């Protein structure tokens, strides 16, 4: 008799606190309860970080400046935020959640994913677990939250946002197709404004349409992003809940930057590559790792994204070597249009071993790198940089010490 392996459906919970900073302030100061309040940054910042639900009724929203907000809601009370309070509250919430699952991924200061697959035996059906969690957070901390439960993280997060504040939504397999059918693509976690606009141009406005759209065409249009989009349209997401400390160890060190405006001038692209290479090299040196494989990532304004790779004979973490490899990869690419995003990463990592430099030139370079890193660590990135490197081919301008690549998001850890 053939054996069948039944893969168990996962049960993922997503929890998001309601109007978090504002609710914490209302909790701390009873006079603020039930009132329209907006939390604003300290140090003269005048942007609303969040508004209580009472204020939201007047249209007050995060990101507004305080004058706009006051126009919409003249009785609005402004409260200066206090991050310490929010962090402490967040830790207390996590401590409650630990009683319900060993696998918790804090996603932001007020959002967590919990793996609760198989926890029925201990806590009963998932919605009962959710109710108990909501009660405990309300009783012990005095705040409300919204919870979504679904077979994966993408759908759980979607479920949370379907009912807010104080919501609880459980999505089963059968509910999903009809919800996705009507859901505007922009409401899916990870599909931002620009992607939404590009999809609209292609006649795709709802997730259902996205899921049915030929994946080969999405791939042609968006490159590697296309496949992910197709999965999102069908509500598929295999990503695990990753608890703190269990994040994958770095397989590559990379930086990417969305250019302040789309660029077709290769000289400008080279200058961005210099900075990206410097960031990658510096980070690798700080962690004492070296890599042999250099990857250049290029994204066009229509989100089509492609990569080119090159392997070096020996591992390196030297900015100059990383830059040369990236430039040679760039030289081989025929850019069909301007570039929106650039990325450089270093993979095939090994731990740096103490090495005796063979030549005087290498010794000099190594000292220079150490000095640059020391200065940069003290004074910030690019205080010292490779102004001379690009001059060799006459393309570089002077790089101002104050220059910062815009939109550098994160170290890619794959
Ligand atoms: N926050 C911030 N800056 C932003 C966005 C948010 O400082 N640009 C802070 C304020 C929020 C908290 O993070 O209270 C959580 O962000 P959410 O997006 O979850 O918003 P809220 O919890 O305030 O409201 P909601 O009930 O819609 O989740
Ligand atoms: Ca929230």
Give 72-87 pLDDT, tens digit per residue: 999 999 999 888 898 8
pLDDT on residue 398 = 30
Q: Is 321 in contact with 293 (CB distance < 8 Å)?
A: no
What percentage of the chain carries pLDDT values higher than 70?
A: 81
Burial of 165 (0-12, 13-18, 19+ CB in 10 A): middle
Looking at the CA of 79, which ligand is closest? Answer: 1
396 pLDDT more than 70:
no
* C-alpha atoms less than 13 angstroms from C-alpha of 50 in its C-beta half-sphere: 17
Task: Work out the average pLDDT over 240-257.
Answer: 78
Pocket mutation for ligand 1, best pick of 20, 80, 141, 167 (most atoms within 8 Å of C-beta): 20
- Output phi, psi for 336, to 5 deg: -80, -25
Instruction: Give yes or no for residue 279 CB within 6 A of ligand 1.
Output: no
Instruction: Give yes or no for residue 144 CB within 6 A of ligand 1.
Output: no
Round the average pLDDT of the chain to a whole number and report it. Answer: 84
Strand-pairing partners, residue 347, are 252, 293
Instruction: Give yes or no for residue 16 CB within 6 A of ligand 1.
Output: yes
Is 111 designated active site? yes
- Please state the atom number of ligand 1 nearest to the C-alpha of residue 18: 26
Q: pLDDT tens across 135-157, in order?
A: 999 999 999 999 999 999 999 99
388 pLDDT more than 50:
no
pLDDT on residue 308 = 94
- This prediction has a pTM of 0.71
61 — pLDDT class (breaks 50, 70, 90): very high
- Please state the atom number of ligand 1 nearest to the C-alpha of residue 51: 23
Instruction: Give yes or no for residue 62 CB within 6 A of ligand 1.
Output: yes
At residue 312, the 3 state secondary structure works out as strand
Q: How far is the CA of 144 from the centre of ligand 2 (A)?
A: 10
193 — pLDDT class (breaks 50, 70, 90): confident
Q: pLDDT tens across 116-136, in order?
A: 999 988 999 999 999 999 999
pLDDT on residue 406 = 34
């Amino acid at each position: 008799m053939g054996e069948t392996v039944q893969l168990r459906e996962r049960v993922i919970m997503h929890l998001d606190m309601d109007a978090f900073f504002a609710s914490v302030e209302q909790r701390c100061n009873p006079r603020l309860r039930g009132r329209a309040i907006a939390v604003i940054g300290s140090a003269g910042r005048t942007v609303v970080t969040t508004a209580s639900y009472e204020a939201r009724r007047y249209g007050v929203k995060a990101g507004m400046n305080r004058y706009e907000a006051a126009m919409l809601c003249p009785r609005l009370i402004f409260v200066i935020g206090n991050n310490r309070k929010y962090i402490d509250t967040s830790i207390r919430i996590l401590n409650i959640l630990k009683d319900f699952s060993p696998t918790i991924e804090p996603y932001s200061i007020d959002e967590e994913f919990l793996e609760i697959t198989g926890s029925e035996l201990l806590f009963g059906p998932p919605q009962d677990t959710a109710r108990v969690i909501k009660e405990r957070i309300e009783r012990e901390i005095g705040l409300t939250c919204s919870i979504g439960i679904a077979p994966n993280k993408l759908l759980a997060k979607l479920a949370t946002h379907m009912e807010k504040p104080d919501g609880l939504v459980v999505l089963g397999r059968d509910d999903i197709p009809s919800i996705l059918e009507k859901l505007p693509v922009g409401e899916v976690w990870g599909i931002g404004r620009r992607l939404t606009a590009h999809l609209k141009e292609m006649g795709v406005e709802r997730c259902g349409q996205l899921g049915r759209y030929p994946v080969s065409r999405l791939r042609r249009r968006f490159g590697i992003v296309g496949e992910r989009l197709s999965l999102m349209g069908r509500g598929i997401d295999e990503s695990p809940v990753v608890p703190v400390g269990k994040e994958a160890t770095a397989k590559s060190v990379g930086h990417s930057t969305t250019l302040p405006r789309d660029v077709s001038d290769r000289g400008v692209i080279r200058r961005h590559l210099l900075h990206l290479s410097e960031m990658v090299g510096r980070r690798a040196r700080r962690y004492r790792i070296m890599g042999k494989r250099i990857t250049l990532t290029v994204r066009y304004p229509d989100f089509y994204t492609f990569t080119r790779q090159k392997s070096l004979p020996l591992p390196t973490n030297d900015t100059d070597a990383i830059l040369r490899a990236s430039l040679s990869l760039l030289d081989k690419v025929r850019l069909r249009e301007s570039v929106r995003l650039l990325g450089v990463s270093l993979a095939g990592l090994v731990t740096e071993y103490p090495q005796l430099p063979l030549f005087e030139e290498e010794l000099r370079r190594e000292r220079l790198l150490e000095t640059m890193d020391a200065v940069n660590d003290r004074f910030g990135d690019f205080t010292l940089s490779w102004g001379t490197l690009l001059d060799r081919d006459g393309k570089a301008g002077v790089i101002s010490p104050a220059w910062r690549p815009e939109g550098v998001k994160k170290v890619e850890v794959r």
